[in-house]
Structure 1
């Protein structure tokens, strides 16, 4: 990749940014004078702010090619300023991403809302000499920061660029984990649970590409789910590990998993401390959970019954005696 851009690259883009001088300016009166002062204007001579305006109007299908023009364009494409401009120009669309990890590589499927609801798939082969993606990225969790989708595996992590489709290796977690909770707050990723030998809560900084332990969780969980609302990380459900001596369930690597953890542990990122834990109504196993619009939604299973609950996680909301609200309860036979 070259360090500078030339006018032959994306000539259509340059023409859209600059009007034809023959259409807007009369011929000079003195040809001899204009001959001495004539110079060519190229897109590489544009300042960053004007070039960002041009790049913000490039179609989504052309973004992978744009990133290969030169290092400067690749750097601008990764800037938060371009992301804000494209969002302001309504060039960012709600999209569903689905990933499948295999020994040979990574399959990515995207479904963009409003695009005739058609799936588009791509394949990224694994590098030579390795064991593929399945081993390092087994039992992975996904967290998104801007246009970057981080696939967090047990031992390694990769970043998938939602605009260009490029895959970049990133630093792995401090402690290996399986079936852990992951959530994003203020541009950083937090993980907890999924480890039998530690209750550490880890934080990932994408700028420095480093993981660090920021706190110890109140309890160890396995198979938990992560969510985040209003600056608070929620570690939800799973199995209790090493908490008591009753109702022990055997677990791999000599650990002991006990009864279902029908509760949520809350970590305040700004205050750097744990808040009071919350119990999930009806008990049982937390099947799924997510956060949306200031609420945490939890689906639980107990014997032959399923229940769906909504937890009001808004800090400034008027607190009521019942923060959990039932949505439905159904029986399965």
Structure 2
């Protein structure tokens, strides 16, 4: 790949940016200096001669389907298309689509699917299918079933105990990135200002207090603070520059009491990323065990389990107004009658624009039916419910594809 582009590349792009000689309305009188007329090449404009800001303005307007071709033109174009400025311009122009992304690692390989909400709810589209031999980087495949997912624009970072994979939904490429400094599973993860933050989790009986920050541009992790409480099995969310570390258990000899574990399972620790300070902790009303959480339209949405039922809560995370810190109980998700709230069922919450997607996955449907003695038909391994934050109503979306199990979910802009 060359460092700079040739003017012959993508002449159609330049034609869209320069006046059309056959269109009288687009012609503007140009007054040339005599020296300029004597040397016509002095006024020639090529793609390579455009400054980065003007080139980005042009590139940001192309259809998403053309982006993979643009990155192959030259290294300069590839660098610009990977920059956060390109993403910002497309977001400002309203050219980014928000989609629910689910990725799963099983024995046969790595699978991902996308569900778009822009018009009518449609079926899932499988966007990635890679065999296990292709994703087995230094033993990373074995830990991927316990991975968390976080998206920055069109790129999804699958963060596992000893590896990080980056999937580019525009390019359809999968790359290995730097792993976390502290190997951990069952941790909280969230994205704030284009960087990834993780907290809690660990391995075995060891739970780390280190909160790490990942810079995608530098491909580097660093510890930014120590957590207020060590949590295992916690969930992350982010609103207004605050990293919420929610739920989980307190593990260790000195914290083995059930009462201490219960307090952790229904509480939140708040970390202000900019000031590097911990704010006052908050507790989810009604107790219970937090099983899923996410952020959407300035609020944190929390799904709690009470052994035989679920409760759904909203926390106001907008620090600029007077409602910060207020809790409100919302309508619970309408789960099918055959779904039991036991260890075989996992939940994920993802904020997608003004909706909250609750993804319910049965860990192993055959084991569940065998233990319960049921042989019911129509019991799916997974379902997707959508909560509309505007009207407060739930609806059913298309179920996850059958190959997507133990899914890590995120909202992708692409």
Same fold (TM over 0.5): yes
State the distance in 2 between where 1:56 and 1:290 align. 29
Corresponding residue number in structure 2 for 1:161: 168
1:150 positional shift: 1.5
Note the 1:206-245 alignment, pairs <5 A: 206-242=216-252, 243-245=254-256
Using the TM superposition, name which of 157-166 and 220-229 deviates more. 157-166
Corresponding residue number in structure 1 for 2:200: 193
Distance 1:202 1:330, change over 3 A: closer
> Structure 1 residue 120 and structure 2 residue 130: aligned?
no
Corresponding residue number in structure 2 for 1:253: none
Q: Decide whether the 8 Å contact of 2:7 with 2:47 is kept in 1.
A: yes
1:21 positional shift: 4.5
Corresponding residue number in structure 2 for 1:254: none
Q: Decide whether the 8 Å contact of 2:68 with 2:171 is kept in 1.
A: yes
Relative to the length of structure 1, the TM-score reads: 0.82
> Structure 1 residue 182 and structure 2 residue 192: aligned?
no
> Structure 1 residue 325 and structure 2 residue 328: aligned?
yes
Q: Decide whether the 8 Å contact of 1:101 with 1:137 is kept in 2.
A: yes
Superposed CA RMSD in Å reads 3.3
Using the TM superposition, name which of 260-269 and 100-109 deviates more. 100-109
Residue 171 of structure 2 aligns to a residue whose secondary structure is coil
Write the deviation string for residues 245-276 of structure 1: whole angstroms up to 9, x where unpaired.
4349xxxxxxxx94462111111222222222
State the distance in 1 between where 2:306 and 2:135 align. 46
Corresponding residue number in structure 2 for 1:9: 9
Q: Decide whether the 8 Å contact of 2:313 with 2:330 is kept in 1.
A: yes
1:56 positional shift: 1.5
Relative to the length of structure 2, the TM-score reads: 0.67
Distance 1:118 1:132, change over 3 A: farther
Q: Which has the larger radius of gyration?
A: 1
1:330 positional shift: 8.8
Which structure ranks higher in relative contact order (CA pairs < 8 Å, sequence separation ≥ 6)? 2
Using the TM superposition, name which of 6-15 and 209-218 deviates more. 6-15
Write the deviation string for residues 102-137 of structure 1: whole angstroms up to 9, x where unpaired.
456533322333366354333364648746753253
Write the deviation string for residues 49-77 of structure 1: whole angstroms up to 9, x where unpaired.
33222212211111111111111110111
1:284 positional shift: 1.9
Write the deviation string for residues 138-185 of structure 1: whole angstroms up to 9, x where unpaired.
311112223332211111112222322222322111111111101122
What are the ranges of 5 or more consecutive residues in structure 2 without an aligned counterpart?
A: 30-35, 341-414
Residue 190 of structure 2 aligns to a residue whose secondary structure is strand
Distance 1:104 1:221, change over 3 A: same
Residue 87 of structure 1 aligns to a residue whose secondary structure is helix
Q: Decide whether the 8 Å contact of 1:182 with 1:190 is kept in 2.
A: yes
Corresponding residue number in structure 2 for 1:63: 67
